[in-house]
Structure 1
Amino acid sequence: MQGVLDFLKGIFVGNNNELTILGKIVKIAIIFILVRIGIRIFNAIIDKSIDRKRKIKFGVDERKANTLATVLKNLNKYVFYFIGLVPSLELFGIKTTSILATAGIGGLAIGFGAQSLVKDVITGFSILFDDQFSVGDYVKIGEFEGIVEEMGLRITKIRDFSGELHIIPNSKIEAVTNGARGPMRAMVDIGVSYEEDIDRVLAVLNDMCEEIRKVEDCILEGPTVLGISSFGEYEVVVRIVAKTEPMEQWRIERLIRMNIKETFDRENIEIPYPKRVVFDEKLKGGN
């Protein structure tokens, strides 16, 4: 048994009682295993704290809670990896304490060419404290728009309706359009034939809107028939608007259009479409 222990010691520890390369690799692996365990433990603590705040009477908003949890977990990850990196570097003779003492953490980051990283982090804190958007919000950032899926100190991830995930450095975020704050407008324009009785059409649409209002709790105001909005080449255009909860406006627009089609079919109200009349000169001459 002692011979086996001496053999293993010889693999990991050299003659001068210093770790061999293999020993250092094993020690670094153990350090980062402990780092991963620490990250998971603190993430669990963060989740419990956020859940507790959600449950209290005047707790934080669900989306703000998700955003705060994501940012804290990212910060937690960076801190633990930094803690694991320092002793790992020292195993190879790199004196991180002297570097930090002379230059400071900020100077070290800039020395490694991390100016953009620092800018990303600062902007990330600014976005969080200004409450520009939260996880789950529908936003437009530059040329990208979609649902905020993750918000970190360095990057923000938004997923558009096609499923593509856009990863945007926080320092690149300048102007943000948030489509999830406050009531949203649903608007539908419908064309009606010039031959129809407009007063009757408006009355039918008003009745239809009343029925929709009764069954859709996400509608905050309306739907309201505003009346004639314009005159087209083939139709009189009638506009209907409603105010809905965020992210529900598109569904309500589709619902209104479907109900218009069913109602017009039932009431024999014509939705006009382009028509082409062709005259046959040969038949005309024969007559």
Structure 2
Amino acid sequence: MDLLANVSTTMPEMASWEFWLGVPARVLMILLIAVVASAAIRLIIRRITRGIEKGTRSRVIRKLDSGRPQWVEDAGLARKRQAQRAQTVGSVLASVLTLTIWAVALLMIVSELGFNIAPVLASAGIAGVALSFGAQSLVKDYLSGIFMVAEDQLGIGDVVDLGEASGVVEDVGLRVTQVRDVQGTLWHVRNGEILRVGNQSQGWARAVLDIPLPYDGDLDAMIERLTNTLANLREDATVGEFVLGDPEVWGVEALTGESVTVRVVVKTAPAEQWAVSRVMRVRVKKMLDAAGLSVPLVNQTMVRGGGNLYAPPADAAPTDQT
């Protein structure tokens, strides 16, 4: 009988305009706002993603021109890689924000239906405070990863120096960046702990050699020999394709009583400066040998012979001991 009474009183209420303009209208309005907010968030993130793609820096890449390798600046490959990473970050952000919007909308709808959500909100607040203390570093890692991707600080295959770890980047995530050093060790670096990024693969590089020459030698003649020895470095069969400019002798870098240090530099393709430097050292060594010159040694003190260094010589007069 009570059920029939409730039905008989509810049906007239549902037929009135006041009922449909009350809770159902508010619930429909909440759903509409959630849909519009989700669409707006996705549109904003999509535009931000496109801005990140357009802001990609050009990189020096290797191309073949009439069968001969050439190193030219090109942003196509870098933009494609940056676009993939930006889309990944954008999809993650869109999913998180959309989930947050619909979670809030669901709580508001439950409240409109007359359910008491105060215990739920209190429990969520306590859980949020507890998680905020434990997840501070996690949030920092993710935010740092997002900015690293947005600013194109590094990418897979780049040679970087991150402070504690340096080497070739093998993977870039939103929380962790993986770097393999020259010894083969794979470093997992949290993005929140990266305070500086030295990228040796963006744009171009420079091979720098500080060559010590004899102090008493003819400096002008030795510099001329250096220039002639490295003049045709672009024609080298091993590293010639990596050389982007003519070698330059910048002059005297240091001066001591034993040697005169001369600095020689050359512009190279990214991450190829070490190979070019090795070839340059070999050429300089052969030039010094041909000219009869040798790399000066620093002052040394050598002690030869055995026995007690503090023992008096055999013919020394005996000392009076009392």
Instruction: Report the TM-score when normalising by structure 2.
Output: 0.52
Choose which of 194, 205, 208 in structure 2 pairs with 1:184: 205
* Cα separation, 2, equivalents of 1:274 and 1:121: 51
Quote the residue 1:151 is aligned against: 172
* Cα separation, 1, equivalents of 2:75 and 2:224: 45
Pairwise CA RMSD: 3.9
AA matched with 1:256: M
* Cα separation, 2, equivalents of 1:226 and 1:98: 65
* Cα separation, 1, equivalents of 2:188 and 2:301: 54
Choose which of 219, 226, 234 in structure 1 pairs with 2:258: 234
Residue 264 of structure 2 aligns to a residue in which SS?
strand
Quote the residue 1:62 is aligned against: 77
TM superposition shift of 1:221: 2.4
Matched, 1:249 2:264: no
- 5 Å matches for 1:36-51? none
AA matched with 1:253: S
Residue 206 of structure 2 aligns to a residue in which SS?
strand
* Cα separation, 2, equivalents of 1:241 and 1:163: 29
Q: Percent identity?
A: 30
TM superposition shift of 1:178: 1.9
Residue 244 of structure 2 aligns to a residue in which SS?
strand
Residue 270 of structure 1 aligns to a residue in which SS?
coil
Q: Deviations over 1:90-149 (max 9, x none)?
A: xxxxxxx99994489x99x95883554444333322221221211111222242222211
Task: Check the 8 A contact 2:162/2:196 in 1, yes or no.
Answer: yes
* Cα separation, 2, equivalents of 1:275 and 1:176: 39
* Cα separation, 1, equivalents of 2:255 and 2:286: 23
TM superposition shift of 1:208: 0.8
Matched, 1:262 2:277: no
Q: Deviations over 1:60-110 (max 9, x none)?
A: 643554465467679989999xxxxxxxxxxxxxxxx99994489x99x95
AA matched with 1:173: I
* Cα separation, 2, equivalents of 1:169 and 1:254: 33
TM superposition shift of 1:151: 0.6
- 5 Å matches for 1:77-92? none
- 5 Å matches for 1:2-81? 61-63=76-78, 65-66=80-81, 69=84
Quote the residue 1:21 is aligned against: none
Q: Is the helix fraction higher in 1 or 2?
A: 1
Ranges in structure 1 where 5+ consecutive residues have no aligned partner: 1-58, 81-96, 283-287
* Cα separation, 2, equivalents of 1:233 and 1:133: 44
* Cα separation, 2, equivalents of 1:207 and 1:241: 14
TM superposition shift of 1:273: 2.3
Q: Deviations over 1:7-29 (max 9, x none)?
A: xxxxxxxxxxxxxxxxxxxxxxx
Q: Deviations over 1:185-227 (max 9, x none)?
A: 2111112223322222112111111121333122222311223
Task: Check the 8 A contact 1:70/1:152 in 2, yes or no.
Answer: no
Task: Check the 8 A contact 1:187/1:253 in 2, yes or no.
Answer: yes
Quote the residue 1:91 is aligned against: none
**Measured at CA, do residues 63 and 112 of structure 1 come closer, stay the same or move farther in structure 2, by a change above 3 Å?**
farther
Task: Check the 8 A contact 2:160/2:167 in 1, yes or no.
Answer: yes
**Measured at CA, do residues 260 and 154 of structure 1 come closer, stay the same or move farther in structure 2, by a change above 3 Å?**
same
Q: How many residues align?
A: 205
- 5 Å matches for 1:91-170? 101-102=106-107, 113=131, 114=135, 116-170=137-191
Instruction: Report the TM-score when normalising by structure 1.
Output: 0.58
TM superposition shift of 1:150: 0.3
* Cα separation, 2, equivalents of 1:192 and 1:135: 41
Task: Check the 8 A contact 2:86/2:150 in 1, yes or no.
Answer: no
* Cα separation, 1, equivalents of 2:130 and 2:90: 20
Deviates more, 1:198-207 or 1:109-118: 109-118
Matched, 1:222 2:243: no
Task: Check the 8 A contact 1:64/1:135 in 2, yes or no.
Answer: no
